[in-house]
Amino acid sequence: MPISDHRLIEAWKEVLTLSRLEAGQTVTILTSAATHPQTLACALIATQQMGAIVNRLDLPPVNGDKAFSRDSLAYLGTTPLTGNRAAIAALKASDLVLDLMTLLFSPEQHHILKSGTKILLAVEPPEVLARLVPTLEDRARVLAATKKIGAAREMRVSSPAGTALVCPLGEFGPTAEYGFVDEPGRWDHWPSGFALTFPDDRTAHGTIVIDRGDILLPQKRYVNEPIVLTVEGGYATKIEGGVDAALLRDYMETFGDPEGYAISHIGWGLQPRARWSTLGLYDREATIGMDARAFEGNFLFSLGPNNEGGGSRTTTCHIDIPLRGCTVKLDDETVVRDGRVVA
């Protein structure tokens, strides 16, 4: 059901307050052809009502001739900021950037963050944004999880379907996504609610079974028959199964990049208001699937780059896969048992 402008403006103001926006600060709203008009209009009103100096920077889309999907996370190549020094300078001069376009996994985003600018990504449909407005409780829950990740040296994941994955930790720090940006140089995504890290490079090993009902993103489809990944030396070396496995193999082959098969971020969902079933209610082009990534108790792993976590691996291929019913252990402590977060 559509959301009213009034409710979305109030949602924006809640998130901007959590993000410590102050009167007189400069906000730049970054947009492109796929930006939702209601999200933009309400962001413009909310930021101005809070006394900010507001700019809009609209940039043309790129990669459309290379990507196999309209999803903004389906092809991580160049961005509209690549080589665009004037646009980068404007964003660096801002206190807060509202990214309604998607800069994720781009070197330009890292440069902007290093200047102290905060970046908040918000590209889900307006009603999803309003339903999943972040809270201080979300922040506390996610930070508690990342503290445990930071102290651990190994993550082990198992499931009744056959997953048995071992990921040594310590090379990369943890990442907390709780939906707002309350510190200089922070990036976050509204909506979200999960804790993650990256395994030590080229060390993850074992088996991952993507079972019936688990989700492939950006395909935005529930798996109908199991897909078995063999993980060796940090890479998925085999993708076995039926039609779903063949579809995944064919999609990944289109990138022609062996780095796309690397195990990327690993972690678990902590957002109790996000739902596993929501993806089935939306057209594929209407959402990027943040409910699927954040619903409480999922084990979320990805294939592809690790530069977001401080690594050097970049690739245009990035796939997120949330699994249900898994048990996740950090060293000897169980943090998720059979798909339920341990308090």
pLDDT in tens, 106-145: 889 989 999 999 999 999 999 999 999 999 999 999 999 9
pLDDT, position 214: 98
pLDDT, residue 343, reads 82
Closest by CA to 66, choosing from 58, 54, 79, 75, is 75
Q: Residue 145's pLDDT is what? A: 98
- For the segment 268-282, what is each residue's pLDDT rounded down to a tens digit? 999 999 999 999 999
What per-residue confidence (pLDDT) applies to 71?
A: 74
CATH code assigned to 5-131: 3.40.50.2300
Whether 107 and 308 have beta carbons less than 8 Å apart is answered as no
Strands 118-121 and 96-99: parallel
pLDDT value at 19 more than 90: yes
The pLDDT of residue 196: 98
Confidence of residue 103 (pLDDT cuts 50, 70, 90): confident
Tabulate helix, strand, coil % of the chain (nearest 5): 30, 30, 45
Average pLDDT, the chain: 95
Q: Using an 8 Å Cβ cutoff, are 112 and 92 in contact?
A: yes
Q: Considering the chain, what percentage of its residues have pLDDT values greater than 70?
A: 100
d(CA 169, CA 146): 13
Q: Which of 108-112, 152-156, 334-338 has the weakest average pLDDT?
A: 108-112
Q: Please state the pTM of the whole predicted model.
A: 0.95
Determine the pLDDT at residue 72.
73
Q: Indicate the range of 56-70, 86-100, 287-301, 328-342 predicted with least confidence.
A: 56-70
The CA distance from 264 to 163, in Å, is 17
pLDDT for the residue 12: 98
Amino acid at 215: I
Q: pLDDT value at position 90?
A: 97
Question: What's the confidence (pLDDT) of residue 192?
Answer: 97
Question: pLDDT tens digit string along 78-99?
Answer: 788 989 999 999 999 999 999 9
Helix (H, G, I), strand (E, B) or coil at 72: coil
Confidence (pLDDT) at 73 = 73
Domain ranges of the chain: 5-131, 136-341
| Model confidence at 157: pLDDT above 80 | yes
> Looking at residue 203, what is its pLDDT?
98
Cβ neighbors of 270 (< 8 A, separation 6 or more) are 138, 141, 142, 145, 193, 194, 195, 294, 296, 341
